[in-house]
Structure 1
Amino acid sequence: MAIGFHGLFATHEAEHHDLVFGGLSLLIGSAVFAVDMFTGIEGAVAVLYSIALLFAAQAANRKGLMALSAAFIALTLFAFFFGHGPDPDMQAFLRLVVALASLAVTTALLVRNDEAKAELLRMNSALRESETRYRSIFHGTRVALWERDYSRLRHHLVSLKARGISDIKLHARDNPEFIRDCIQMIEIVAANAAANDLLGATPDHPSNCAMAGYIPPDSAAITEVLQAIMDGASHLEHDAEVISENGETKSVLLSIGFPDDTSAFNRVVVSMVDVTQREEARKTLAEAQAELSRASKAATVGVLSASLAHELNQPLGAIVVNSQTLLRWLAKDPPDLEATRRSAERILRDGNRASEIIKNTRSMLSATPPEAEHIDLNALLSETLTLMEHDLQRERTAVEIIQEEEIPSVPGIKIEMQQVLINLISNAAHAIAAAAAKRRLVTITLKNEHDGEHVLISVRDTGNGLDLEAARKIFTPFFTTKKNGMGMGLSICRSAIEARGGTLEARNHPEGGALFEIRLPKEKADA
């Protein structure tokens, strides 16, 4: 009712305004006509019609003004010919021209002013509609929005830049109170309901009172905001943290669009999207992935335990044999000290190998990966074949090494690389035994790749080769062609090689048998 009464009152007031100015216009026009018609004044009395037009402009529209101006022109002409007859003198005619020109110019100016006023009203109306829509979006959206006044802060930062200060982080480090002072310069013009909800503000204490209590002084985001303002950036997006009323720290995505017009810094729109749950989920996922990785490593070690025991049996068995041999050499009269020394060296070698196997197994469960070494492939292959000598003799399998050029060292973990070679050579020997091949030969080839950056190690057997399913799934975990196999060996071998930047591939050799190829990056000159 109050709104309706106010609108009705405004309508009556406008009607009263039009009646007053319209009446004054007609009254003045009538008076001017009477004076021009019935008096003998020789001046350009009709010029005074312009006053009537000025009053009429307050009440009439453009068409009304033009109609009234035409009426005044007609009255002026009528009075002129009525008073001076068909043959007026030159002075009277000039006064008529002046009066008509005055009416025409006044009418033209008033019409133009009316058009400008109408355009201004349209612009104001469009501006009000735009402001209404903006306010509706501002207050209705569920995105936290603020209008902040950065004008004082910008002026402060511009003055600092004029003094030669360009690095906000460096300046803040040297001036501990700088960030806090800058935050105090930020004034909040308005905030929507979502902004209050984000910060846990209440109607008694809305979030547009001050921003200082909600921004941590050590926030990296506020430093980026200050730097962006100083550099004249047009937009900024940054992860940030805010402190709610209850002291809870929330993660938000901050977005600010800075205006091109520096005078518009008094109303800068700032948005924040609460991503706390997303960040917590991401952190939880990262922790779960790390835990899963450790569990996977532990599972891998469990699967490899049988193979590990076998590998340890080799150096431990060798230590026992060499110890017995050493005792026999010492029991001689006189003792054979040279043979004793050789046995002791072999005991030391096998003991170090057992220690390396255990150390590598522990590193697989550790969060810190072992450091890479410089691996001499020739020495590694020779040591590996020495360790596998008993197994190869049992399988009645010979090993042939083909190397036509010098092979540089490669980066990696020696014990891992040795386990890969043992696995591939052992698989080749088993494949030959399963095929009951007449020619029991494992061929190992070492050569430099054509690209000059990789070394190729190939292991070929004389077995039956890979069938279609095996060729497709050979590196798939838990896939095996052995009756008692677990299907983890080749999968782990490929993972170990790929972790060092290499590749492990399998295919059938054109002349028969399976062929496994390892490509490893060479040692860099500046490594």
Structure 2
Amino acid sequence: MEALQAAPPTVRHDSRIVSMLAAAIALAVFLIDALTPLDIAIAVLYVVVVLLVSSTGKRRATIGTAWGCVLLTLIGFMLSHDQTVSGSALARCVVSLLAISTTAVLALRNQTAITQRQRMEAELERQREELRNTIDAIPGMVWSASPEGRLIFVNRRWNDLGVSLGDSGPQGNGDIWRTIVHPADIASMQRDWQAAIATGAPFENVSRMRGGDGVYRWMHIGAEPLRDASGAIRRWYGVNTDIEARKQAEHALRRSEAFLLDAQRLSRTGSIATSLPAGTMWWSDEAYRIFDYPREVTPSIDAIVARAHPDDVATVRGAHEAALDGAREIDVEHRLLLPDGTVKHVHFVAHRAAADGEGEGDETVGALMDVTETKRAQEALARSTAELAHVTRVTMLGELAASIAHEVTQPMAAIVTSGDAGLRWLGRATPDIGEARQAITQMIRDARRASEVIARIRAMARKRDSQPATLDINEIAGETLELVQRELARLRVEVRTEFTMPAPVVRCDRVQLQQVLINLLMNAAHAMSGVDGPRILRIATSAGLDAPGHVLVTVQDTGTGISEESARRLFDAFFTTKAEGMGMGLSICRSIIEAHGGRIWAEAPEEGGARLRFELPGHEGDDDEH
């Protein structure tokens, strides 16, 4: 709320424009729904109004708009119907109300997720500022250099000496050392520095450096390389320590230096340092907060295990034992179970540092990251995607209502015809049992066909988890064409199929795969609705392009085509080329295909029109349920 209250005038002005647009759309939908005889679910378009208002980020306005749209739907329903209300009209009203309420819930959940992300970003910025202040407050001259040895950062302690990177100009920074290092020591210092750069070994040197009062003092100059995964040096991190005044604190400072250098390479969240093989630990304040321990608690592996979730205790102990056995890198995720019952997800990464030369063994320096909010955001996103996919399927079925009715009516009419024929054959003076049996067989066949159509419709509308099965891709394509056949005929679309044989087999969820195909087929049909010439829709299956064993499905039309820019953005959420589109259909298609290990893309063929393709891994082995 504070972020919204602090919004600049431009943002508030944009919100007013969006609100006015939403009000205009709501009024238009209401007038069409209440005053026109259209026998379709016009009120479903109120979801656009809810989405527009939710885009302003105003939670109360979104809730109020949703309730308003529900009220307008009910009023429009009462105004457009007399006392006799058909079941289909009532069903459309219920579908519209469900669509509005579901959209509102998803929009409010999205606003909540955005708010949480903004808080996380604010906290991250606060931690970054705290880190900068920490580096400046370190009682030493902290610096970093490029792989070639050029200074690229110095902390505020250098400024206290009257030194900054600008003193030597933008090229090289090498003269800074000559400015502050005693002339008698500069040659030795630079020789050691160049040797470290050449070999990649840690750099150490003791030289006299001039202080802010002009007096030279002995300094310990040390630097460590930061390497990437391939072992190449990305940066040098160093600190110059006054060893005259702080000889007694030298060990503590070296540990702080190692913590600073390695923690920067990791994540700088909660930090844990462990001396090996003794097992003595040190935790940062953030680590204490994550474990929910007071500062009086002594850090130890037992304290960590006590906070570990019972199911993850073995994971925690395994990571600790790996460190004791000499593992150089530790990377593990596990859960914490706090005394109040709260469960946290944490990610721990650690690096084994070399021995410090004083007989105390090695030390692991690690970062403990609380990734609970990230896990929750990922789970919420997955749930939102599933909810939106379900709403899209239900909406799609509403748009295909005429085709569905035709698909069911056709076999039912055939049953009646076969029944009449059977009665006639039996009603003859000499009943023709063979013809009657054939008529009854046709009745059974058509009844089963009608049952299959209804089962497919129910499966499309049912909200359930993904149920992968071994499927014949040609069979699925044929079933999908039957489902949209009526709509394609209405749009005067000629369908051409090119199915490869033997039929490719994939491991997919039947309903989700049908949802993708219906979306692609209907998009292609609508793209040709304004074309005067032939309206040809081609659907083909073939071997994949990416790797052997993959299956490729192509849907191509002879419509107006797509631009190169649109082809790149076609599968982005909320991007649409339709005036009335919401831009979610193809985005959901991409999510479904990628969840099955495949990819989907769009092409603009030279002959015109658009070509949508998706590729899935083929399945080999025993068939499951079809």
Q: TM-score, normalised by structure 2?
A: 0.44
Equivalence for 2:531: 435
Q: Per the alignment, do residues 313 and 419 of structure 1 end up closer, same or farther by CA in structure 2, a change over 3 Å counting?
A: farther
Q: Give CA-to-partner distance per residue, 1:186-242, whole Å, 9 cap, x none.
A: 7x799999998877557xxx545998667529744345334543x355676766889
Equivalence for 2:549: 453
Task: Return 5+ residue gaps in structure 1 as ranges.
Answer: 1-125, 152-185
Equivalence for 1:339: 439
| Contact kept? 2:555, 2:611, Cα under 8 Å | yes
| Contact kept? 1:256, 1:268, Cα under 8 Å | no
Q: Secondary structure at the match of 2:399?
A: helix
The answer to whether 1:373 aligns with 2:478 is no
State the AA in 1 paired with 2:543: N
Bigger shift: residues 215-224 or 331-340: 215-224
Task: Tell me which of 445, 459, 463 is aligned to 1:359.
Answer: 459
State the AA in 1 paired with 2:451: G
Task: Tell me which of 249, 267, 271 is aligned to 1:132.
Answer: 249
The structure number with the bigger radius of gyration is: 1
Offset at residue 476 of structure 1 (A): 4.3
State the AA in 2 paired with 1:134: H
| Contact kept? 1:457, 1:518, Cα under 8 Å | yes
Q: Give CA-to-partner distance per residue, 1:126-184, whole Å, 9 cap, x none.
A: 89954423346779999877887966xxxxxxxxxxxxxxxxxxxxxxxxxxxxxxxxx
Offset at residue 496 of structure 1 (A): 3.5
Task: Tell me which of 435, 441, 450 is aligned to 1:350.
Answer: 450
Q: Give CA-to-partner distance per residue, 1:452-488, whole Å, 9 cap, x none.
A: 4334443333444335665455444455555655554
| Contact kept? 1:330, 1:340, Cα under 8 Å | yes
Task: Tell me which of 413, 417, 420 is aligned to 1:328.
Answer: 420
Equivalence for 1:297: 389
Equivalence for 1:313: 405
State the AA in 1 paired with 2:439: A
| Contact kept? 1:214, 1:244, Cα under 8 Å | no
Equivalence for 1:510: 606
Offset at residue 490 of structure 1 (A): 3.9
Q: Per the alignment, do residues 350 and 489 of structure 1 end up closer, same or farther by CA in structure 2, a change over 3 Å counting?
A: farther
| Contact kept? 2:350, 2:366, Cα under 8 Å | yes
Bigger shift: residues 278-287 or 348-357: 278-287
Q: Per the alignment, do residues 135 and 239 of structure 1 end up closer, same or farther by CA in structure 2, a change over 3 Å counting?
A: farther
Residues 148-159 of structure 1 aligned to structure 2 (within 5 Å): none
Write the distance in 1 (CA, Å) between the matches of 2:482 and 2:341: 67
Task: Point out the structure with the larger strand share.
Answer: 2
Offset at residue 391 of structure 1 (A): 3.8
Equivalence for 1:17: none
Write the distance in 2 (CA, Å) between the matches of 1:247 and 1:419: 41
Task: Point out the structure with the larger helix share.
Answer: 1
The answer to whether 1:409 aligns with 2:526 is no
Offset at residue 375 of structure 1 (A): 1.0
Offset at residue 448 of structure 1 (A): 3.3
Q: TM-score, normalised by structure 1?
A: 0.51
Q: Per the alignment, do residues 318 and 481 of structure 1 end up closer, same or farther by CA in structure 2, a change over 3 Å counting?
A: farther
Offset at residue 347 of structure 1 (A): 2.0
Write the distance in 2 (CA, Å) between the matches of 1:383 and 1:326: 24
Q: Secondary structure at the match of 1:511?
A: coil
Q: Secondary structure at the match of 1:434?
A: coil
Equivalence for 1:288: 380
| Contact kept? 2:404, 2:483, Cα under 8 Å | no
Offset at residue 386 of structure 1 (A): 4.2
Q: Secondary structure at the match of 2:384?
A: helix
State the AA in 2 paired with 1:341: T
Q: Secondary structure at the match of 2:251?
A: helix
Q: Secondary structure at the match of 1:435?
A: coil
| Contact kept? 1:329, 1:337, Cα under 8 Å | no
Q: Per the alignment, do residues 271 and 313 of structure 1 end up closer, same or farther by CA in structure 2, a change over 3 Å counting?
A: same
| Contact kept? 1:253, 1:273, Cα under 8 Å | yes
Q: Per the alignment, do residues 128 and 507 of structure 1 end up closer, same or farther by CA in structure 2, a change over 3 Å counting?
A: closer
Write the distance in 1 (CA, Å) between the matches of 2:470 and 2:520: 21
Write the distance in 1 (CA, Å) between the matches of 2:387 and 2:569: 24
Q: Per the alignment, do residues 482 and 297 of structure 1 end up closer, same or farther by CA in structure 2, a change over 3 Å counting?
A: closer
Q: Per the alignment, do residues 353 and 223 of structure 1 end up closer, same or farther by CA in structure 2, a change over 3 Å counting?
A: same
Task: Tell me which of 493, 496, 510 is aligned to 1:400.
Answer: 496
Q: Per the alignment, do residues 338 and 389 of structure 1 end up closer, same or farther by CA in structure 2, a change over 3 Å counting?
A: farther
Offset at residue 370 of structure 1 (A): 1.1
Q: Per the alignment, do residues 321 and 283 of structure 1 end up closer, same or farther by CA in structure 2, a change over 3 Å counting?
A: same
Equivalence for 1:519: 615
Equivalence for 1:60: none
State the AA in 2 paired with 1:375: D
Q: Give CA-to-partner distance per residue, 1:377-415, whole Å, 9 cap, x none.
A: 1x4444444444444444444333346764433333344
Q: Secondary structure at the match of 1:517?
A: strand
Q: Secondary structure at the match of 1:400?
A: strand
Q: Per the alignment, do residues 310 and 480 of structure 1 end up closer, same or farther by CA in structure 2, a change over 3 Å counting?
A: farther
Write the distance in 1 (CA, Å) between the matches of 2:336 and 2:527: 64
Write the distance in 1 (CA, Å) between the matches of 2:342 and 2:555: 61
Identity over aligned pairs, percent: 25
Q: Secondary structure at the match of 1:372?
A: strand
Q: Per the alignment, do residues 149 and 254 of structure 1 end up closer, same or farther by CA in structure 2, a change over 3 Å counting?
A: same
| Contact kept? 2:400, 2:487, Cα under 8 Å | no
Offset at residue 434 of structure 1 (A): 1.7
State the AA in 1 paired with 2:611: L
Q: Secondary structure at the match of 1:321?
A: helix
Q: Secondary structure at the match of 1:332?
A: helix
| Contact kept? 1:195, 1:207, Cα under 8 Å | no
| Contact kept? 2:549, 2:617, Cα under 8 Å | yes
Equivalence for 2:562: 466
Q: Secondary structure at the match of 1:369?
A: coil
Offset at residue 355 of structure 1 (A): 1.4
Q: Per the alignment, do residues 138 and 424 of structure 1 end up closer, same or farther by CA in structure 2, a change over 3 Å counting?
A: closer
Aligned length: 356
Q: Per the alignment, do residues 316 and 207 of structure 1 end up closer, same or farther by CA in structure 2, a change over 3 Å counting?
A: same
Q: Per the alignment, do residues 295 and 344 of structure 1 end up closer, same or farther by CA in structure 2, a change over 3 Å counting?
A: same
| Contact kept? 1:398, 1:442, Cα under 8 Å | yes
Write the distance in 2 (CA, Å) between the matches of 1:190 and 1:460: 63
